């Protein structure tokens, strides 16, 4: 053993060098699509605890803005698509949660679609983990199911004792299903994904759409929603229109 | 001299590597030691269970971890309210003698704790069916401020600090990670194994024993008047029904409607299993009946009719005094002493 050992070690290191060399030779390396979600208010970046006014002239600040993104799909101009299997909890206050990296192995991105929320199957499949861990505060313990999107803040128009409004929107089945499929098309037809590079797509989520969209939802009329039902669905109908592509650039 | 020095260094490095490799393998070997599979037995004549352990491999080690968690007060804020404090084995895992159960800071629950047995056959849990999967049920009492009053993060933090839990989680799940999903799956292994199917009634069905004359008579009454809702062999059809109980204005508990928002579900509650019924008093979603006779009297003459009152009880259920007595004797035969004293389910002290 002792006599063979130096020989073995030399062979081992030689192998290492050879395999490293193999990696450096060029196959085409597919590029990354980096999708970043930004909270925005009136088109500008959302600032937590900053004062704003909504379409009904109600003052508000935002203290929490979170939502689930799942079933992310990117499609190229020829119709080929790549679907990501991940579940992401986007927290507007936490930069570490806002970016999703995909390697779709398609040449360009013509459109992006995703489910705003957690699909029904996951809502009835028992204990989940990662972004779906109930410790994230996005799972109702007494009426099993995920909170798809959460908006909280303070307003003098909120009729709650502490002036807080808390919109926890959920419901994954039946007439008041709050799940929304969002589809965004790239302006100018499509964007190329650079080989061995990154295409950055910034998607804005406009908070004002929660209050004024398909429905007029004044803070003064409802300061909270905490269960599936018609009111939750109306908030979902509203915020389904909150997304827009802010920019598409190679990084 | 230089050559010798070079090769000695290489040798030492290589040997060090081998030692590290061996140590790593040992730890992995510990985690990877085969677990002891447990079999979930479906009792004779029972339907297929709803829960199937497909994503939660049932093992003795997993079951033992779940049991330890079930009886561990640290899942509650002040240490006083483990699951086992409201779910007592000698009461078929209901709360003995209490309409509502004690919770944190001298508070009470707002619904009667059901007995825990044959849970693997349930689709929904809780009187209003708000829980859609056995694995996520513990989240409700753990986080309820009037029950165990804890947060999931705090519970996990406590588990992560405990050497015994660290070893058990590594053994059961293969690595050191302790998270809510693993905790809940372990609990589900324990709770799903609570099967009650060895009462006198079961032994009679298996041909091992016979009913006495009065028990047989009571069984006949039961099959005539009760079985549409309390269907054999689970003694519930797991449906939600309004049994005409007058509303308690202090609670205003609308039952299933709180979950479905459907007015047709107003005042509907889940049909409880009658197994071990003599141990799980008081009865009803708010524990308003302290005797089974009281429940029978309700069906005989006290049903309150409303828009959602179940058609099966709307006109009352006529039961003579003799039939009532016989029925009570039959219901005694649903007591499963094996289950109540099974050491597998008992708290380890």
Per run of 10 residues, the mean pLDDT along chain A (length 251 residues) is: 59 56 61 96 97 98 98 95 97 95 93 97 97 98 97 98 97 94 90 91 97 97 97 98 95 86
A:137-156 residues touching chain B, CB 8 A cutoff? 139, 141-145
Which residues of chain A does B182 touch, with a Cβ-Cβ cutoff of 8 Å? 129
A127 contacts chain B (CB < 8 A) = yes
Q: Reduce the DSSP state of residue B42 to 3 states and report it.
A: coil
Question: With an 8 Å Cβ cutoff, are B261 and A176 in contact?
Answer: yes
Q: How far apart are CA A75 and CA A193, in angstroms?
A: 12
pLDDT at A187: 84
Residues of chain B with pLDDT under 50: none
Torsion of CA B64, B65, B66, B72, to 10 degrees: 110
Question: With an 8 Å Cβ cutoff, are A134 and B185 in contact?
Answer: no
pLDDT at B46: 98
pLDDT at A22: 47
In this structure, the number of other CB atoms found within 10 A of the CB of residue A41 comes to 21
Q: How far apart are CA A168 and CA A172, in angstroms?
A: 13
Measured between CA atoms, how close is B39 to chain A, in angstroms? 21
Question: pLDDT tens across B100-126, in order?
Answer: 999 999 999 999 999 999 999 999 999
Q: How far apart are CA B186 and CA A21, in angstroms?
A: 47
Which residues of chain A does B55 touch, with a Cβ-Cβ cutoff of 8 Å? 125-126
Question: pLDDT tens across B230-278, in order?
Answer: 999 999 999 999 999 999 999 999 999 999 999 999 999 999 999 999 9
Indicate if the alpha-carbon torsion angle B107, B110, B112, B117 is positive or negative.
Answer: negative
Q: Please tell me which of the candidates B10, B14, B139 has its beta carbon nearest to residue A141.
A: B139
DSSP string, B20-34: HHHHHHHHHHHHHSP
Q: Evaluate whether A104 touches A193 at the Cβ level (below 8 Å).
A: yes
Beta bridge partner(s), residue A247: A202
**Residue of chain B nearest A128, judged by CA positions:** B181
pLDDT at B18: 64
pLDDT at B349: 76
Return the closest-CA partner of residue B304 out of B316, B289, B319: B316
The predicted complex's ipTM stands at 0.88
Please state whether beta strands A32-41 and A198-206 pair in parallel, antiparallel, or not at all (unpaired). Answer: parallel
Residue to test with chain B: of A142, A228, A232, most B Cβ within 10 A: A142
The pTM of the full predicted model, rounded to 2 decimals, is: 0.89
Q: How far apart are CA A135 and CA B16, in angstroms?
A: 42
B interface with A, Cβ–Cβ < 8 A, is 7, 10-11, 14, 55-56, 126, 130-136, 139-140, 142-144, 151-153, 156, 179-182, 184-185, 188, 258-259, 261
Q: Evaluate whether A76 touches A35 at the Cβ level (below 8 Å).
A: no
What is the number of CB-based contacts under 8 A between chain A and chain B?
A: 79
Question: With an 8 Å Cβ cutoff, are B134 and A126 in contact?
Answer: yes
Residue to test with chain B: of A126, A146, A170, most B Cβ within 10 A: A126
Sequence-distant (6+) residues with CB within 8 A of A104 are A30, A33, A74, A82, A193
Q: How far apart are CA B71 and CA B67, in angstroms?
A: 6
Q: Evaluate whether A197 touches A31 at the Cβ level (below 8 Å).
A: yes
Q: Is B211 left (phi over 0), alpha (psi -120 to 50) or beta?
A: beta
pLDDT at A117: 98
pLDDT at B199: 98
- Assigned token pair, A9: 């070690």
A220 contacts chain B (CB < 8 A) = no
Per-residue burial over B144-170, b = 16 or more CB atoms within 10 Å of its CB, e = otherwise: bebbbbbebeebbebbeeeeebeebbb
Which residues of chain B does A9 touch, with a Cβ-Cβ cutoff of 8 Å? 10, 14
- Assigned token pair, B43: 């009792």
Which residues of chain B does A230 touch, with a Cβ-Cβ cutoff of 8 Å? 261
What's the N-to-C CA distance of chain B in angstroms?
A: 66
Question: With an 8 Å Cβ cutoff, are B10 and A176 in contact?
Answer: no
**Residue of chain B nearest A137, judged by CA positions:** B152
pLDDT at A196: 87
Please state whether beta strands A224-225 and B102-103 pair in parallel, antiparallel, or not at all (unpaired). Answer: unpaired
Question: With an 8 Å Cβ cutoff, are B180 and A6 in contact?
Answer: no
């Amino acid at each position: 053993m002792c006599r063979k050992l130096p020989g073995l070690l030399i062979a081992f290191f030689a192998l290492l060098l050879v395999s490293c060399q193999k990696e450096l030779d060029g196959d085409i390396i597919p590029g990354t699509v980096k999708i970043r979600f930004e909270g925005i208010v009136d088109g500008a970046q959302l600032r937590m605890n900053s004062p704003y006014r909504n379409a009904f002239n109600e003052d508000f600040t935002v203290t929490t803005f979170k939502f689930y993104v799942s079933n992310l799909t990117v499609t190229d101009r020829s119709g080929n698509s790549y679907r990501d299997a991940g579940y992401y909890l986007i927290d507007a206050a936490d930069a570490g949660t806002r970016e999703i990296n995909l390697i779709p192995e398609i040449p360009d991105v013509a459109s992006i679609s995703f489910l705003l929320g957690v699909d029904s199957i996951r809502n009835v499949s028992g204990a989940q983990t990662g972004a779906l861990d109930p410790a994230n505060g996005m799972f109702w313990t007494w009426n099993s199911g995920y909170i798809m999107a959460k908006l909280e803040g303070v307003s003098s128009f909120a009729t709650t004792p502490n002036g807080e409004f808390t919109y926890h929107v959920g419901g994954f089945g039946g007439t008041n299903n709050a799940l929304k499929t969002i589809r965004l098309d790239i302006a100018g037809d499509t964007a190329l994904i650079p080989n061995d590079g990154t295409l950055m797509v910034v998607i804005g989520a406009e908070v004002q759409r929660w209050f004024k969209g398909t429905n007029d939802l004044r803070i003064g009329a409802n300061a909270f929603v905490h269960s599936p039902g018609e009111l939750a669905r109306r908030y979902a109908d509203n915020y389904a229109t909150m997304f827009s592509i802010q920019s598409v650039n190679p990084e | 001299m230089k050559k010798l020095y070079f090769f000695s260094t290489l040798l030492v490095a290589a040997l060090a590597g081998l030692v590290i490799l061996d140590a790593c393998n040992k730890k992995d070997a510990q985690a990877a030691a085969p677990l002891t599979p447990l079999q979930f037995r479906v009792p004779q004549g029972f339907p297929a269970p709803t829960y199937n352990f497909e994503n939660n491999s049932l093992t003795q080690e997993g079951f033992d971890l779940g049991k330890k968690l079930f009886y561990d007060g640290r899942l509650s804020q002040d240490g006083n309210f483990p699951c086992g404090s409201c779910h007592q084995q000698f009461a078929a895992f209901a709360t003995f003698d209490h309409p509502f159960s004690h919770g944190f800071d001298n508070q009470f629950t707002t619904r009667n704790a059901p007995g825990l047995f044959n849970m693997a056959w349930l689709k929904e849990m809780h009187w209003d069916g708000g829980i859609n999967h056995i694995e996520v049920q513990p989240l409700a009492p753990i986080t309820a401020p009037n029950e165990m009053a804890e947060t999931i993060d705090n519970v996990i933090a406590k588990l992560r600090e405990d050497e015994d839990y660290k070893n058990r989680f590594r053994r059961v799940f293969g690595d050191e990670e302790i998270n809510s999903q693993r905790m809940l799956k372990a609990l589900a292994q324990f709770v799903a194994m609570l099967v009650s199917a060895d009462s006198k009634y079961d032994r009679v069905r298996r041909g091992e024993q016979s009913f006495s004359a009065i028990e047989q008579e009571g069984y006949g009454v039961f099959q005539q008047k009760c079985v549409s809702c309390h269907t054999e062999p689970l003694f519930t059809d797991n449906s939600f029904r309004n049994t005409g109980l007058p509303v308690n204005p202090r609670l205003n508990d609308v039952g299933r409607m709180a979950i479905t928002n459907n007015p047709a579900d107003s005042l509907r509650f889940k049909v409880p299993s009658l197994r071990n019924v003599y141990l799980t008093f008081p009865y009803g979603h708010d524990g308003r009946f302290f005797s089974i006779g009281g429940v029978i009297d309700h069906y005989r003459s006290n049903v309150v009719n409303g828009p959602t009152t179940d058609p099966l009880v709307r006109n009352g259920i006529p039961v003579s005094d003799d039939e009532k007595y016989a029925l009570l004797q039959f219901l005694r035969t649903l007591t499963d002493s094996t289950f109540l004293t099974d050491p597998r389910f008992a708290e380890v002290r």
